[in-house]
Structure 1
Amino acid sequence: MNNTLRQPRVALGWIVFLLIAVAGLFYVKWFPYYNRAFVAASQHSIGKSILMGTASSAPAASWQAALDYALAYGKAIWQAMVLGLLLGSAVQALIPPRWVARALGEHNFGSVVNGGLMSLPGMMCTCCAAPVVAGLRAREAAPGAAVAFWLGNTVLNPATLIFMGFVLGWEWTGLRVVLGVLMVFGLGFAINRMVTPAQAAASRAAVAKLVDEDDPGTAFARWIKLLGKMSLRLIPEYIVLVLLRGAARAWLFPHIGPDIGNSALWIAAFAVAGMLFVIPTAGEVPIIQAMLSLGMAAGPAGALLMTLPSVSLPSLAMLAKSFPAKVLTFVAVSVVIFGIVAGGIAAAVF
């Protein structure tokens, strides 16, 4: 394509992408969270626990429990999910593949740092960030960089850290920040180290092919097509798994009270349950607040601090085609380990 025609079309793609990102994040995330920070500071609360409200246990497993949770969760995140799908498809259609490769394509620590830092303005929950991560991987972002972006959205969310400080105490924020930085950048680096030279060469070849085939003249038509494909693939499995998680609340989280102590067994059990469960952005804050108020020990709460927001069974399923199974398994197991470490620290210090 003639370069004089290509450049304006590429620029238009960038402008549309940035408008969607900035306007969407302002409406869905930045402005609402700005207001909620004042609520957290004045009331030391940001609402009821989505897990079980004010009760001491989650409702018994049933279709009604599944529907109730799915509706509550859907109401909390649907706007962010729409934004995630828009951005995930736009990354593939409107952003030149060479830019994604330059920022996130190298299999080194630099791309991990870029991915983690780029995640901070997003502040999305694990499922809403998943479509963007899928889009980055489709543009051959390095797996470690994509994982850093994915985990950074949830674990290093600036708004959640502020809410946490006002509601739970700043010592909890400090614990989250220290372990969150290690999780986001450490796991990203470890995953990039898992890439073999042959896989790295294949990724570079795929980037070159994307660049050769990229046509800004068809970008917007391709965007609509990708948006439809991503929605049809991701949304149905996401709904099914959220329903199942909602029904299984009573199994994952038993009766909460003083009998939930700081034993290693409880900490490990809550770390696993938190990794599997799905919550909206900052949902861990009222959940932990409610559990602590019912007498649960700090150890299991510390485990949930790291595992509830990081990943979930639905988000892992949504990214099953974007990463090798060993990478997702490594992420899930590592998140549980970080939860156990956080629980041990919380039990000893708080």
Structure 2
Amino acid sequence: MPKTTVPNLPVSAFFGVIKPSGPTSMSIINDVKLLVARSKIFVDVDTLEKSKGKKVRKHGKNDVKIGQGGTLDPLADGVLVVGVGKATKKLNQFLECTKEYRTTVLLGCETDSYDSDGSRVRLAPWRHVTREQVETALEKFRGEIQQVPPIFSALKMDGRPLYEYARQGIPLPRPIAARATTVHSLEVIEWKDKHDFRWPAQIFSAENKQAMEKALQGAGENPVLEDAAEEPSEGEAPTAFVLQMRVSSGTYVRSIAHDLAHELGSAGHVVTLCRSRQGKFALEQTEDGDIECVPWEVFEKAGADVGDPDEDGWYAWEREVLARLEVVE
């Protein structure tokens, strides 16, 4: 059990949670809230006494404020920064900070969402791609780059989310504006000769393709969404590799995978995505000042059975959090 000096309580603070792949970020926050709202770390003792017997609501007003410093999609796992109390007003700093990611890219198939949760849009050759070609192509994606957000995103154009144009076949009134972003580092850290990743089973329908083509044609683009490759042979796995990157805020990791695949004369999408760092919160302490995150299993176990407090009056999950707090005055 981690040991730490207990600050003057209650506190407002940040701490990191290691989000698993699957649940939404908001569901993680709501579950953590059930514990935080009954902890003397964050709520004064008198308030806790008055609230005994009352149910903590996941949604709506409670005695404690809680929020997160940057959503991770259900597919993604890794660092999710949580702010409690006054810290919720300072969560914006985590939207603007440098982040690190590890992502697995699977070649040969492009999806509407640029990841494995989406539907196949088109197939393209992949067998010709080598590690050396990938490492050479990465040079174009380092430094200050211009990145076009995916059309299947919630970004709005003239008040309408981009994905509505794509789904409904509404011509875009103009091209999607490129955004400046900085890729501080970008490397291949693993070439997967053997793996179990496969292309999504769900396939973009002809109607879906026509709608997407019509939307993009409105912006002067003429996309080709026809398949240019066949399914892998029995027992064959499409090429996959893992990228590690450190990027500025606003960077679309999925777009890097998508655009890189195009640069390689292929198509590709993300099958795993892990945020390994957000500001000073990290999965592992690799730099001075790093704060490690609390594994999700700690909260999951406490949510099912909080257990008994120790001799100092702390529950096991509270000890884990106290060892990894950044107090906000």
Q: TM-score range by the shorter chain?
A: under 0.3
Q: Which has the higher contact order (CA 8 A, sep 6+)?
A: 2
User: Higher strand fraction: Structure 1 or Structure 2?
Assistant: 2
Report the TM-score, using the length of structure 2 for normalisation. 0.27
